[in-house]
Amino acid sequence: MAASGKENVMDEKDDPGAAPYGNFINYYTFNPPENRINLIPTTLIQDLGYGKDSSETILMLDVGCNSGDLTVALYRHLQQRAQSEDPTKPPHTDLHLMGFDLDQSLILRAQQNNPFPQNISFIPLDITEDSSLQTQLQVYLGQHGCPRFHLTMCLAVTMWVHLNHGDSALLRLLSRLASLSHHLLLEAQPWKCYRSAARRLRKLGRTDFDHFKTLAIRGDVAEHAREHLEKHCGMELMQCFGSTTWDRRLLLFRRTEITD
């Protein structure tokens, strides 16, 4: 995932290959938030049918938020419509975002640099840890009186779960995200990124990813994800916002089942 031409000037600490869980310390220097933000309409909340009542609480979740740059940028982005209509109008105070990442140092940086602590929160959490994940997210949802997040973002996370924990973990991740969400914005890394990540790890003289050579889910991983979400998770593909500069599609799913 390193930007072209940067690998040769990075030492091992900074090299993306040195972060086998995707917790890059300088991630947004080579994949800035604009690469995704520019594809997402400022009217997204309204387009999904939310925000009609100014008192409605809207909850968003950012899975694998790293240092929080994208989480904050998206919050600002989604406020643009309201403030463009009325420059004196404050940001929508009932839009709340939670970001989490397994790297506590990245979360600490996100917390320290958070310009909207009343509306954005960051916590250390591992998406593969079932019990703590369920507890902390349910507590957060309960505090806001919501059964699910209105929109969950899972951007460039699937590959790291897949490589480190295998096919079954990838499918569990997708099922878990679907159970937590009314809408899901998914960016799954293509197979070429898997090969690059494995190659960088070997280049550093490290042990290969535990599951890389035995994965059965290969090729168009985003298509595999879509099939699982639609066949087993009660979701359907709603829209594709196009592809990022790294040629990764942003896919928006919604729940099709009638739920609370």
Residue 90 has pLDDT above 90, yes or no: no
Q: Which residue has the tokens 């309960």?
A: 142
Round the average pLDDT of the chain to a whole number and report it.
Answer: 87
Q: Under DSSP, is residue 206 helix (H, G, I), strand (E, B) or coil?
A: coil
Q: Tens digit of pLDDT for each residue in 125-165? A: 998 887 777 789 999 999 999 999 999 999 999 999 999 99
Q: Which of 173, 131, 150 is nearest to 50 (CA)?
A: 150
Overall pTM surpassing 0.75 (yes/no): yes
Residue 105 has pLDDT above 60, yes or no: yes
pLDDT for the residue numbered 84: 53
Residue 6 has pLDDT above 90, yes or no: no
Domain locations in the chain as residue ranges? 51-255
Give the mean pLDDT of 100-113. 97
- CA triplet 36, 200, 205: central angle to 5 degrees? 150
pLDDT for the residue numbered 78: 93
51-255 CATH, one of 3.40.50.150, 3.40.50.720, 3.30.420.40, 3.50.50.60: 3.40.50.150
pLDDT band at 79 (very low <50, low <70, confident <90, very high): confident
Higher pLDDT pick, 260 / 199: 199
Instruction: Report how far residue 12's alpha carbon sits from residue 26's, in angstroms, rounded to the nearest whole number.
Output: 12
Q: Tens digit of pLDDT for each residue in 201-231? A: 888 877 789 899 999 999 999 999 999 999 9
pLDDT for the residue numbered 7: 33
Instruction: Report how far residue 110's alpha carbon sits from residue 65's, in angstroms, rounded to the nearest whole number.
Output: 9
Q: Which of 88, 93, 63, 89 is nearest to 75 (CA)?
A: 93
Strand order across the beta sheet in which 149-155 lies = 120-124, 95-101, 58-63, 149-155, 181-187, 249-255, 235-243
Give the mean pLDDT of 12-26. 69
Helix H or strand E encompassing 12 = none
